[in-house]
Structure 1
Amino acid sequence: MSRPPFSPTRRFVLGGLLAGAATPLWAEAPATSLLPRRRGDGGAVRAEPQSAGQLVEAAKLGGAVGFIVADAVTGAVIEARDADQAMPPASVLKSVTAAFALDRLGPVHRFQTRVLRRGPVVQGVVQGDLILAGGGDPVLDTDMLGDLAAKLAAQGIRGATGRLLVWGGALPLLPRIDGEQPDFVGYNPAVAGLNLNFNRVHFEWRRAGADWRLTMDARAERFVPEVHMASVRIATRARPLFTYEGDGGADRWTVASEALGKGGARWLPVRHPALYAGDVFRTLVAAQGIALPAPEVIESLPDGAELLARHDSPVLEGILKDMLKHSTNLTAEVAGMSASQAASLRASALAMQEWARLRHGMSAHFVDHSGLGGQSRISPADMVRLLGDVQASALPGLLKNHGMRDDKGQIIKGHPVQVHAKTGTLNFVSSLAGYIAPPGGRRLAFAIFAADTARRAALPPEAREQPAGGLDYQKRARRLQAALITRWATLHG
C-alpha cells in the first residue's frame, strides 16, 4: 500500500530535527537571539521569548510532556520534544474518530429512527405491535421524538392492539463507556442503537418545607416529559454523593441528604437507553392522543415490520462538528462503532486502530472512540501525521476555533493568527492538537500532550470527579499550550 502524501516516518521526524540543528527554524532555538530592528525601537535589540524547553520546565507539570509542530503541507518538522512517546490523548482522540467516521460513512450520512408496525391499521389502530427502532442517532432528543409522535398522529394513528416494542440493537449495548469513572457522571452514559438526550436524565431537587421535591425528566426545548424508568430517593448520609442500582431493567438512584442544600439540578446517566427512549416516547404519543402500553425492549427486529414514520438525523459532518466543539463522548462512541460495525466497543476500537495504522502509518493503541478511557495511547508525531494527511477532508473545517490565548489562557480577541484544534482533558492529562494558520504564513500542524499517569493511577474512585490538584494541573497545562502556540506562530509562521 503506497504511503499518503503527508506521512513522515519516525526516521523522517528524527532526521528532520537533526538536519535542522544548525538553524532555529528546525530545532529548539536558544533562549535569546537577535531579531530585526523595528522602526521606533531606537536601535534596541529585542530578546526572543523563552525556548520551548524553558516553557516546559516552567510549567512544572510532572510526568511527561511531548509535542511536535510541523509544516502542515510538507511535513517538515519545526520543533519537537519526546514526539515519539505514546501518551493518553484524552478527547483529542475524537479527532481521529471523526476522521475515521468521515472516511467510512461519508460526510452526508444520516442516522434514522423509525416507527414500525406489525399488522394493518384499522380505524387508526395498529392491529399488532408498534415498534420504536433506533438507528444509532447520537443526537436524538425529546423534541425530535415528540415530532416523530406527531407524525403518527398526523396519519390518524390512535393506538395499537399489541405491544410497544423498543429496539436498540443497531449498535452494541454499552452500560457505560468507561468502567473507571464514577457511576453518576453524565459524561459516562450507556451507549446503544437507540439513544435519547445523550442518554442522560435530568434530576432536579427543590426544598419543600422540611423535605425536598425530587423530579426526573427528559427535558428538551419544547417538551419536558416525566421519566418513569429512572427514580431517585434521598438517603440520610454525607457520602457517597450518589449510589446506583440497575434494578429490574430500571435505573434506581439514591442521593446523600447532606449534599442537597436548598436545591439544584444535574444530569444523571441512563444505563438502559432503549427503555428510556420507549418510556419517553409513550408519554409523547399519549399527548397526541395515542394510547400505548408500557414499553418492552427486544433484542432483534421481528420480520415483516412495515414503516409508519421516521426521523432522519442531521448529516454526519454537522454532528461531528458539534461533537468536536462540545466533546460529546456518546457521539464519539456512536460514530466510531457505526463506522466499524464491530460487535463490541473493544473490537471497534481495534478496527479504528488498524485503520489508523494502514491509512496513516500510526502506531497507536485505542480502547474506545471518545478518549474517556485512560488506556488509549498516541504519540504527538502520529497525531500530527494524521492531521497532515486529512487536510483535504472535511475534518480541518470541523475543528473548533481555539483562538490565540494569553498567559492566563484567555482568548485574545481579534488576533490575526487562527488556531483550530481539539482539546483533551482527563485527571492529570491535558492534550491539544490541531492547526495554526498565521496570516500570510504557512499552515502548521501541532500536537501537545501532557500526562502524569502515575498521579492519575493513584486516585481512589471517590476522588476521580474533582481530584485535589487536578484543576491546577489543567491551568498550568493550558498556559503551557498557549505559550508554545504563541512561540510557534511568532517564530515559524
Structure 2
Amino acid sequence: MIHRRRPAVFPPLASTRRGGVLTGWLFALCFALSAAAAHATDKAVEAPPYSLPALNHLVASGARVSARVIDIESGRTLATLDPGQALIPASVTKLYTSAAALDRWGAAKRFTTRVTRLGSVKQGVLHGDLVFVGGGDPGLVNAQLWTLAQRVRESGIRVVDGRLLVDARRFGPVPCVTRDRCRAKRESEDAYNAPLSSAGVDFSNACLSVRPGAQAGAPARLAFEPFDLPMLAIRGRVETLPPGQPAHIRVVRRSEGAREVFEVSGGIPLGGKPRRFYRSIAHPDRFAGEVFRAFLEQAGVAVHGGVAVVRAGGKVMAGVPVAKVEGTPLGEQLRGMLVYSNNYMADTLALDWAAADGAPVPVNLPEAGRRLSAYARAVDVASLFAWARDGRPLLESGSGLTVGNRLSANDITALLAHEYHRYGDFPAFLAGLTVPDQTPVAMLKGGSTAWDTRIAAKTGSLNQPVSVFALAGYLRLAHGRWGAFAVLVNGGHRRPHVGLFDAIAAVRSDLEALLARDDAAHP
C-alpha cells in the first residue's frame, strides 16, 4: 500500500495543508479543466505518437526495449515502444525508493544516531560500556562522527573503562542477497558493493591514500584516512615512478577474519597528485565502531576496552542518553543517492522504510523488496492512466543491484506522473535527477542543446545477466509543458549484450527528435 504522511494528493487531489479539503478539490477541478483545455487546444496539432526509429533499430538487432513518453499535463502519449514489457531497470529502481521515502517521511526527515551509556559516571570516568546506537542513517559520514565524539566529551566523560559497543540491532544482521555483496564479504576492488548495517558510516567504505615517495624508486606513502585503524592493514608496495610516467595502481581489499587487508601494487609518478581508493568493507558495523573510537580519542575520550558489536537480541539496547547527532535532511540525501547512484544509501533507505512499515527484525532486502513492490503496484492501480493499472512491478531491493527487479516503461512513467502531482514531494524528487549539461555522469554528455538542458533523469546500467541501460525522468516540452519518459534497453536472446554507448546514442537520438517534433507542432 502507499503510506501517507498526509492525505493523498494524487489521486484524488485533496489537501489539509493549504486551505483544507475544499481548496484541494478546487485545485483538482482547475487542474482538470486546464488539462481538458490543453487537450482541446492540442487536437488541432496533435500528431500520432513518434515511432522511435533508433530504439526500433535496436529491437531489430536483438535488443529488448520498453519505452513510453507522455505529456503529463494533457495526458497525451507522445511515443511508445512495447511499454508494458517488464525489463531489468538497474538503478532506475532508486526512483521508487526515493518516492516511497518521501511519501512516508517528507524531505525534511533526519535520521538520528545516538550514544548511550551502560554504567555510572564518576569524576569523568564511565564505569561501564559506551554504546554507539546505529539509527539507520544512509548518509552518516565522518564529519557527523566527529560532532558526536565532541558531544560525548561535552557530556563530562573523559574515560570509558569498559568497551565501545556498536548496537546494530535496528536492522539486525543483514544477509547478502546479491552476488556483488556476497563477494564483497571476501574481497572487493570497488566501493559500490558494500554490505549493509544500521550502524554503517561513510557508505561502509574505507579510504586508502597513495602519495609519491621522496624520490623515484622509493616506496609510495600509504595511509588510511582519516585514521589508521586496528582492523585495517596494508600488504604490498606501490613504487614511486620517474616524473611524467602514468600512474598504475591496483588496490584489492581482502577480508581475513576480523582484519581487512588492502593488497596494493603498481606505481605513482614523482610529483604526481595523491590518489584515493575507496573500497567496501566486509564488517561495516565493526568498522564504524573503530572509526568512532578513533574520533573519541581525538576528542580526548579514552576507551580502555575494545570494540564489540551487538546485532541481535530484540529491541535497541536501553541505556542512559549521552549524545546524539542528526543526519542531513532526506531531500539532500536523495540528491546524492540518485545523482551518484549510491547503492549502499538506497538499500539502507529501503531497509529503513521496511522497518518503519512494520517489517520484523532482522530486516532483509527481500522483505524490503516485497513492500516496495506493493508500493509500486499501488501507484499503478491509483494512476489516472488506464495503461498503467495492470502493471506487475517486481522489486527485490531498493538499489537495483539485484538482477531480479522487473519494471516496465508504463510502471516508471506512472510513478513519474504520480510524483509530479505530489506538490510537497516533487521539488525534492526532481532535485535528485541529473541534467546532462551539469551532470557528473560522463556518459550522458555530448548531446544537443535540447538534450543537455531540457531533460532531468536517472540512469541505470548493469552488465549481468544481460546488458542493461535505463533512463527515466522529465522533459520540458514546448512552451514549458512537462513531459515524463522511461526507456529500458536490455540485451535479448539473440543479442545478450548491447554496447552501453550504442544504447545511450539510440535513446538520445530519439528523445532529441521527439523534442524537435514537439517544438515544430507548438511554434
Report the TM-score when normalising by structure 2: 0.74
Name which of 258, 277, 281 aligns with 1:249.
258
Distance 1:185 1:453 in 2: 28
Distance 1:111 1:359 in 2: 26
Q: Which moved more, 1:103-112 or 1:183-192?
A: 103-112
Specify the code of the residue in structure 2 equivalent to 1:363.
Answer: R
Asked if the contact 2:115/2:323 (under 8 Å) is kept, the reply is: yes
Q: Does 1:410 align with 2:452?
A: no
Distance 1:411 1:175 in 2: 42
The alpha-carbon deviation at position 136 of structure 1 amounts to 0.7
Cα distance change on mapping 1:488 and 1:173 into 2, 3 Å = farther
Match in the other structure for 2:206: 201
Match in the other structure for 1:489: 515
Instruction: Give 1:338-353 correspondences, 5 Å limit.
Output: 338-341=352-355, 342=359, 343-353=363-373
Instruction: Give 1:43-442 correspondences, 5 Å limit.
Output: 51-54=51-54, 56-57=56-57, 62-174=62-174, 178-180=178-180, 183-206=188-211, 212-213=219-220, 215-217=222-224, 219=225, 224-234=226-236, 245-255=254-264, 257=265, 259-260=266-267, 264-292=275-303, 293-299=305-311, 300=313, 304-341=318-355, 342=359, 343-361=363-381, 362-393=391-422, 394-395=425-426, 396-403=429-436, 409-410=445-446, 412=448, 418-427=454-463, 428-442=467-481
Match in the other structure for 1:43: none
Percent same amino acid among aligned pairs? 27
The alpha-carbon deviation at position 380 of structure 1 amounts to 0.7
Q: Which moved more, 1:407-416 or 1:280-289?
A: 407-416
Distance 2:405 2:133 in 1: 32
Asked if the contact 1:346/1:367 (under 8 Å) is kept, the reply is: yes
Cα distance change on mapping 1:59 and 1:206 into 2, 3 Å = farther
The alpha-carbon deviation at position 421 of structure 1 amounts to 1.3
The alpha-carbon deviation at position 56 of structure 1 amounts to 4.0
Distance 1:333 1:317 in 2: 16
Distance 2:452 2:297 in 1: 54
Specify the code of the residue in structure 2 equivalent to 1:282.
Answer: R
Give secondary structure in 2 for the equivalent of 1:195.
coil
Give secondary structure in 1 for the equivalent of 2:179.
coil
Give secondary structure in 2 for the equivalent of 1:98.
helix
Match in the other structure for 1:451: 490
Cα distance change on mapping 1:302 and 1:119 into 2, 3 Å = farther
Post-superposition Cα deviations, 1:298-321, rounded to whole Å, max 9, x if no partner, equal: 124675401100010122122112
Distance 1:456 1:57 in 2: 13
Unmatched 5+ stretches in structure 1: 7-19, 29-50, 458-468
Asked if the contact 1:56/1:480 (under 8 Å) is kept, the reply is: no
Give secondary structure in 1 for the equivalent of 2:85.
coil
Specify the code of the residue in structure 1 equivalent to 2:310.
Answer: I
Asked if the contact 2:94/2:400 (under 8 Å) is kept, the reply is: yes
Match in the other structure for 1:15: none
The alpha-carbon deviation at position 403 of structure 1 amounts to 4.1
Asked if the contact 1:404/1:419 (under 8 Å) is kept, the reply is: no
Distance 1:277 1:408 in 2: 35
Asked if the contact 2:205/2:279 (under 8 Å) is kept, the reply is: yes
Match in the other structure for 1:33: none
Distance 2:222 2:60 in 1: 45
Cα distance change on mapping 1:409 and 1:150 into 2, 3 Å = closer
The alpha-carbon deviation at position 113 of structure 1 amounts to 0.8
Give secondary structure in 2 for the equivalent of 1:190.
coil
Distance 2:317 2:170 in 1: 15
Specify the code of the residue in structure 1 equivalent to 2:199.
Answer: L
Post-superposition Cα deviations, 1:54-91, rounded to whole Å, max 9, x if no partner, equal: 45427987421221111213433221011111111111
Name which of 484, 502, 515 aligns with 1:476.
502
The alpha-carbon deviation at position 115 of structure 1 amounts to 0.9
Cα distance change on mapping 1:444 and 1:200 into 2, 3 Å = same
Asked if the contact 1:196/1:277 (under 8 Å) is kept, the reply is: yes
Cα distance change on mapping 1:453 and 1:189 into 2, 3 Å = farther
Q: Which moved more, 1:348-357 or 1:388-397?
A: 388-397
Unmatched 5+ stretches in structure 2: 3-7, 13-41, 239-249, 382-390
Specify the code of the residue in structure 2 equivalent to 1:226.
Answer: D
The alpha-carbon deviation at position 447 of structure 1 amounts to 0.4
The alpha-carbon deviation at position 207 of structure 1 amounts to 5.8
Distance 1:308 1:143 in 2: 18
Cα distance change on mapping 1:369 and 1:55 into 2, 3 Å = closer
Give secondary structure in 2 for the equivalent of 1:435.
strand
Post-superposition Cα deviations, 1:178-218, rounded to whole Å, max 9, x if no partner, equal: 3147632111101110111111011234565756456452x
Q: Which moved more, 1:131-140 or 1:227-236?
A: 227-236
The alpha-carbon deviation at position 333 of structure 1 amounts to 0.7
Asked if the contact 1:115/1:307 (under 8 Å) is kept, the reply is: yes
Post-superposition Cα deviations, 1:438-470, rounded to whole Å, max 9, x if no partner, equal: 35243111101111155997xxxxxxxxxxx88
Give secondary structure in 1 for the equivalent of 2:293.
helix
